[in-house]
Structure 1
Amino acid sequence: MEELARLSEIEQAAAGHGELIWAAQGRGDGSPGPGVRAWRHGEAWAVASPNRQQDRLMVQGDSADAAVLVRPILEEVGPTYRLLGEAALIDGLVRRLPELAPVHEFFWMETTTCCGAATAGVRWLDSREEKEAASLFDRFFPDSYAQPGRAGVRRWAGVVGVVGEEDGGVGAEPLAVAADAWSAAGCGFMGGVITHPSARGRGLGRAVSGYVLDDLVRRHGRAALMVLTGNTPAIATYERLGMTKHRFAAAHLRGR
């Protein structure tokens, strides 16, 4: 088992896929992010990335080689880390390592191309508007990892308007928002996409998503996100914006 010290080594291992690059949380000086460690064994790679919301161990490559990597890594970094990787790989690790239990499947989606979606009315929110957006999550998306004020969530884009305007509503507030969250050198990341229920059906979610994704591609060369497999409307929106989906899965140590 070999530990990798430079971001360039992780980027080479990624072989055109964004998940390892994102997990490395690379900085401009060519080093991985704070606390990030990476290893390789044979044709498998793993990147351990600490995070306040969820410590992640992203794995990629051959299932047998990955099994050799994962057990000593978890013993070293601790039991809080959740494994993420392509669904077939995680399934193979769960079968090989009885101490692992599957959690759920999701899609890792990414793009390296600007979509050029219509984004009229979308802009980066100011600090007051970001605080106002927090109520959207309190009421309609409390389980979101990306929320205003959380560590690593850098900026929020949104459409501001009047809720229930057709019924005489008063007071402008964010109607749809999306965040630049936990982006890293070589892979921007979008999270926290939400539209107020009264504003749905107007394409606002697509507009704010396209705005953020295009900005991330221009800044980092790639943009990615995670979405649960059952969220069919969101998946369709992201595919229309040019994103490609890959079925991933998560697993953790039994008893966690």
Structure 2
Amino acid sequence: MTVRISPDPAVRPDGQVGQDGRVREIADLEELVELSGDDLLCRWAAQGLDGRSRGWATDDGAGIAIATPALATKDRIAVHGSLAGAASLLPLVMAEVGDSFRPFGERRLIRGLSDMVELDDARGLRVAGEFGWMDRADPLDDEVSDAHWLHPEDDAAIDELIAAGNPDSYAKPGDSAVERWAGIRDDHDRLIAVAALAWSAPDIGFIAGVTVHPDVRGNGLSERVCRLIAGESLRERGAVGLMVDEPNPAAVRTYRKLGFDYRELAAAELA
């Protein structure tokens, strides 16, 4: 596959790009997973390399970039690898996919890229936000969640709960990226906690829209509703992940109880 990064004159017919031909597009998911060291964040960003997402790597595998539009509502470029490798790759990828895409990845890597990357038009990058990524790839214990799967007729109640407890949620009822909602009701049949399975890849589920009604926070409802989604994702896809805002130590503690590992991430934008 030829990579077209204009106005770089050194596009080569073998799919390599750049003055020294060090960059190539990756069309095979297995190769991308291998180059990333089976990194779950990269697997999620790749979305199965389904035609919407695209991946690139330096020839030595020191840098990887995966561009996916509308991933958790934003056009994103996941970057992975060494600072030198990512820095040589990222400007070419950004020129290819356009200004709407924001690089994100390990916090130290994004900070380093923000300090050293300059695009052809002399613009640079700056850190736009810092957050966390949490994931798990081994089965959950046998504890059963009291959450249940919701149905389209529950959308109005989900909307009402999100408006009350998490109005900035990326996941909303009716969004085509949302596969299913899980929820918990109280003794009066009132919906008091929800979470969505959304923006998932074929090989990793993604949890979004975790919301608990303000009146009942602190009772472990987030863990219980996420347990249902995490368990299904692990059984059917083999892995599960989510993003967590910072600072939000309570959320991190909740997901650690489910056995999720935590990583510091950041996103960058054009300065």
Normalization by structure 2: what TM-score?
0.85
Q: How does 1:16-95 map to 2 (within 5 A)?
A: 16-26=38-48, 32-41=49-58, 42=60, 43-51=62-70, 53-95=73-115
- Is contact 2:68-2:76 (8 Å) kept? yes
Q: How does 1:120-131 map to 2 (within 5 A)?
A: 120-131=145-156
1:34 offset after TM fit, Å? 3.4
- Is contact 1:119-1:208 (8 Å) kept? no
Q: How does 1:152-231 map to 2 (within 5 A)?
A: 152-161=177-186, 172-231=189-248
1:118 offset after TM fit, Å? 4.2
Q: Which runs of 5+ in 2 are unaligned?
A: 1-22, 119-123
Letter matched to residue 183 of structure 1: S
Aligned residues: 241
Query: Residues 23 and 84 from structure 1, CA distance in 2 versus in 1: closer, same or farther, beyond 3 angstroms?
Result: same
C-alpha distance in structure 1 between counterparts of 2:66 and 2:95, whole Å: 14
- Is contact 1:117-1:211 (8 Å) kept? no
Letter matched to residue 126 of structure 1: H
Helix, strand or coil: the match of 1:150?
Answer: coil
Q: Which runs of 5+ in 1 are unaligned?
A: 27-31, 163-170
C-alpha distance in structure 1 between counterparts of 2:70 and 2:82, whole Å: 26
2:249 is aligned, of 232, 246, 249, to 232
- Corresponding residue for residue 171 of structure 2: 146
Question: Is 136-145 or 38-47 further displaced after alignment?
Answer: 136-145
- Where relative contact order (Cα < 8 A, 6+ residues apart) is larger, the structure is 1
Deviations 1:116-170 (A, max 9, x none): 37444311001111331111222321211112112311100111225xxxxxxxx
C-alpha distance in structure 2 between counterparts of 1:151 and 1:101, whole Å: 31
Helix, strand or coil: the match of 1:183?
Answer: coil
- Corresponding residue for residue 102 of structure 1: 127
1:172 offset after TM fit, Å? 2.5
Please report the RMSD computed on the Cα atoms of aligned residues, expressed in angstroms. Answer: 1.5
In the alignment, is residue 253 of structure 1 matched against residue 256 of structure 2?
no
Normalization by structure 1: what TM-score?
0.89
1:178 offset after TM fit, Å? 0.9
Helix, strand or coil: the match of 1:50?
Answer: strand
Helix, strand or coil: the match of 1:245?
Answer: strand
Helix, strand or coil: the match of 1:55?
Answer: strand
- Is contact 1:158-1:175 (8 Å) kept? yes
Deviations 1:167-207 (A, max 9, x none): xxxx6332101111111122111111111112223221110
Deviations 1:214-256 (A, max 9, x none): 11111111100010231110100100110000111110112xx
1:137 is aligned, of 147, 162, 181, to 162
C-alpha distance in structure 2 between counterparts of 1:133 and 1:79, whole Å: 34
C-alpha distance in structure 1 between counterparts of 2:162 and 2:143, whole Å: 25
